[in-house]
Amino acid sequence: MVKPLNMKEKAPRRLKRQDLPKVTPALARYLIGKTLVHDWKGTRLAGRIVETEAYLVGDAAAHSFRGETPRNRSLFLERGHAYVYFIYGNHFMLNMSGGPHGTGEGVLLRAAEPLEGIDKMRMLRGTEPLRDLARGPGRLAEAFAIDRSLDGVDFCGGADLWLGSAVRSVGAIATSVRIGITKDAHRPLRFYERGNQFVSGTKAMRR
C-alpha cells in the first residue's frame, strides 16, 4: 500500500469529551478516521480507526441488555470511557462508552490502520504483515497492548490511552449489520471507511 505524497499527516491532538457526539451511533460514526493512541512503556502506539460498531439500550446484543454487572460496569460510565472485556478465552475487546452516566451504551473498536509504534505492534502481535496488525477487534486490542488494567480509563482524561483527532482526511463511511452476533443481528450499526484495506472480514465487508 503506497501513501500518496499529497496526503500530509499531522500529529493528533487530544479530543475532549465535548467533541464526542452524545448519541451513540453518531459517536460510532464520528470515531472513523480518528486516532487511537496508547502511550505504552515509552512507545507511542497509534492508529487510525477504520471500523466500529454501536451497542445500544434495548439492544439484545449489548452487554448492558440485562443490566449492570461487575464485568460491564464501565460501559455505564459517561461517554468517552474505556470498556475492556475478555472473550473466547483469548481476546480482549476495546470499547468506548456512550451516552450519559448510567446509560450502558458503547462503541466497539473493530479495526485500525497502524500509524506509529508499528515495530512494537509487530512484537505484541507476533506477526509481520501490516495489514493484519489491528484488522479485527481482538487483533486491535493485542496490537495496542490493551488489557483489563485499562478497563474504565477515561479516553478524555489525560491518561496514556486517549483519543486523538484525525491525522488525514476521512473517506466515505459505509454502514452494515454487525459482525459475529446472533441477537439483534439485523440492525445496521457497523460503520467503516469504504474500501479501506484495514477493515476486518472479507472483501465484501469493506465495500
Catalog residues that contact DNA under the rule CB under 7 A: 53, 55, 61-64, 66, 69-72, 75, 83, 86-91, 93, 95, 106, 108, 125, 127, 132, 136-140, 178-183, 200, 202-204
Shorter beta-carbon distance to DNA: residue 124 or 167: 124
Shorter beta-carbon distance to DNA: residue 111 or 156: 111
Retrieve residue 43's grid coordinates: 512507545
- Closest separation between CB of residue 11 and DNA, Å? 28
Please count the CA atoms within 13 angstroms of the CA of 53 that sit on its side-chain side.
25
Residues in Cβ contact with 4 at an 8 Å cutoff, skipping those fewer than 6 apart: none
CA distances from 183 to 61, 72, 175 (A): 5, 18, 18
Retrieve residue 131's grid coordinates: 495489514
In angstroms, the CA 80 to CA 155 distance is 5
Shorter beta-carbon distance to DNA: residue 11 or 123: 123
Retrieve residue 128's grid coordinates: 509481520
- Closest separation between CB of residue 16 and DNA, Å? 23
- Closest separation between CB of residue 31 and DNA, Å? 13
Shorter beta-carbon distance to DNA: residue 167 or 198: 198
